[in-house]
């Protein structure tokens, strides 16, 4: 049984005492608002600002500072976000190119690494023979490139790949693997540092919040704090939380908060519950992540999450795993099996095609399948930088190589 969330304040429209994920205000319902006041600078904020433009190709960084001159191109509702719909598709800017926003990148804030190095029951930070930091955790490990923890290195990599802006998020193992009190503290440390990065580099970085998912009610409050107080643009959640699928009702307070705040959730894979079968050959990263990505997308639909939260914006990473390939089979099964038929308000394919997919799968044939599946407005540039399996330079280049119209590439 979920505890009743404490009263926060009174509604600014009707004066009724409000709780985070309750929407009792008739006035706001008529206006299409939830009880959480939409004053946060979400990703849609970018649709109202002038974007700085490059001084020249490949000339972003001199030392640690990006060199800009004032530009005149504006992001529009289609190009970035409208009411939380984080379509990081791009429109042309004045001059010689596009504003490239890499929506799938990862960063370990210094405070997080210090805490993991100091004490952690579930992660181990060491150096390998080459001097690289390596973060070990159950089922897998990450070799940290300089750009995982150095903004200077990150800006240099972005300059080389001609990426204008990066959306930063934490990556595996996440904080939910820690005990609950420690996970809450780590999430606050990470989100505070992410907010500092946004303030220091407002034209280069935006960040997704980290949430202590083991305690969903607290995670919902932390999402609200991260968005309303810190200005983060959404959150990244994992496909499962210590083996429990993210679509489980216990995590619904997070979905309700995201819908109320009108910000997107990026669903990132982690080691599947059966990861012991994937311990060889780096199969967790190579196949397990794709499996869990596909599984969570299907569960979110068949489990009724998107009926319960129809305005929730979801970004599925890694081109949705195998979803574009297998969605028709799910649709066919929904119509064929009596225990599935009729449990949803719409056809499963309708929900799938409302999700956003990123391009972290650099095979042209796969990208064309993803493009045909969701359409150009819901396919987002992503590189998985700076992971070993990511490719910040290949990610935009493969888009340019696709046999599609210039309009579709934007």
- Distance (Å, rounded) from C-alpha 402 to C-alpha 365? 9
Catalytic residue ranges: 384
C-alpha dist (Å) from residue 395 to 16, 104, 183, 186, 303: 49, 10, 32, 31, 33
- Answer for the pair 367, 376: CB distance below 8 angstroms, yes or no: no
DSSP category for residue 103: E
- The SS3 call for residue 78 is coil
- Distance (Å, rounded) from C-alpha 209 to C-alpha 206? 10
- Distance (Å, rounded) from C-alpha 133 to C-alpha 142? 9
Q: Would you tell me how many other CB atoms lie within 10 Å of the CB of residue 200? A: 11
Which residues contact residue 225 at a Cβ distance below 8 angstroms, ignoring those fewer than 6 apart? 191
Q: Mind giving me the DSSP string for 254-321?
A: HHHHHHHHT--EEEE----TTGGGG-STTHIIIIIHHHHHHHHHHHHHHTTHHHHSTT--EEESGGGT
Cβ-based burial of 274 (10 A; exposed 0-12, middle 13-18, buried ≥19): exposed
- Answer for the pair 103, 382: CB distance below 8 angstroms, yes or no: yes
- Distance (Å, rounded) from C-alpha 35 to C-alpha 180? 27
H/E element, 116: helix 110-118
- Answer for the pair 244, 297: CB distance below 8 angstroms, yes or no: no
Sign of CA dihedral 334, 340, 342, 344: negative
- Distance (Å, rounded) from C-alpha 189 to C-alpha 220? 16
């Amino acid at each position: 049984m979920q505890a009743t969330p404490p009263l926060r304040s009174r509604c600014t429209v009707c004066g009724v005492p409000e709780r985070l994920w309750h929407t009792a205000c008739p006035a706001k319902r008529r206006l299409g608002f939830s009880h959480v006041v939409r004053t946060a600078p979400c990703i849609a904020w970018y649709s109202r600002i002038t974007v700085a433009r490059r001084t020249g190709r490949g000339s972003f960084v001199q030392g640690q500072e990006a060199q800009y001159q004032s530009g005149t191109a504006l992001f529009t509702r289609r190009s970035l976000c409208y009411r939380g719909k984080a379509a990081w598709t791009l429109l042309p800017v004045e001059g010689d190119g596009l504003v490239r926003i890499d929506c799938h990148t990862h960063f370990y804030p210094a405070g997080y690494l210090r805490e993991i190095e100091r004490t952690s029951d579930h992660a181990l930070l060491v150096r390998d023979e080459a001097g690289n930091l390596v973060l070990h955790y159950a089922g897998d490990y990450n070799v940290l490139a300089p750009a995982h923890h150095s903004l200077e290195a990150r800006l240099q990599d972005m300059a080389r790949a001609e990426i204008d802006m990066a959306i930063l998020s934490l990556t595996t193992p996440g904080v939910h693997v820690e005990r609950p009190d420690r996970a809450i503290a780590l999430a606050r440390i990470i989100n505070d540092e992410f907010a500092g990065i946004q303030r220091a580099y407002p034209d280069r970085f935006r960040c997704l919040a980290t949430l202590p998912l083991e305690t969903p009610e607290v995670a919902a409050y932390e999402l609200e704090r991260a968005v309303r107080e810190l200005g983060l643009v959404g959150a990244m959640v994992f496909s499962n939380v210590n083996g429990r699928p993210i679509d489980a009702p216990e995590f619904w307070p997070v979905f309700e908060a995201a819908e109320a705040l009108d910000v997107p959730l990026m669903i990132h894979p982690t080691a599947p519950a059966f990861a012991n079968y994937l311990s060889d050959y780096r199969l967790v990263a190579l196949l397990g992540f794709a499996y869990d990505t596909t599984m969570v997308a299907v569960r979110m639909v068949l489990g009724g999450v998107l009926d319960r939260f129809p305005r929730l914006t979801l970004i599925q990473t890694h081109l949705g795993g195998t979803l574009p390939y297998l969605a028709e089979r799910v649709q066919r099964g929904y119509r064929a099996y009596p225990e599935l038929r009729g449990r949803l308000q719409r056809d499963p394919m309708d929900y799938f095609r409302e999700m956003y997919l990123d391009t972290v799968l650099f095979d042209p044939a796969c990208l064309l399948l993803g493009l045909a599946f969701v359409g150009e407005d819901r396919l987002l540039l992503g590189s998985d930088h700076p992971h070993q399996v990511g490719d910040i330079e290949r990610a935009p280049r493969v888009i340019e190589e696709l046999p599609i119209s210039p309009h579709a590439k934007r």
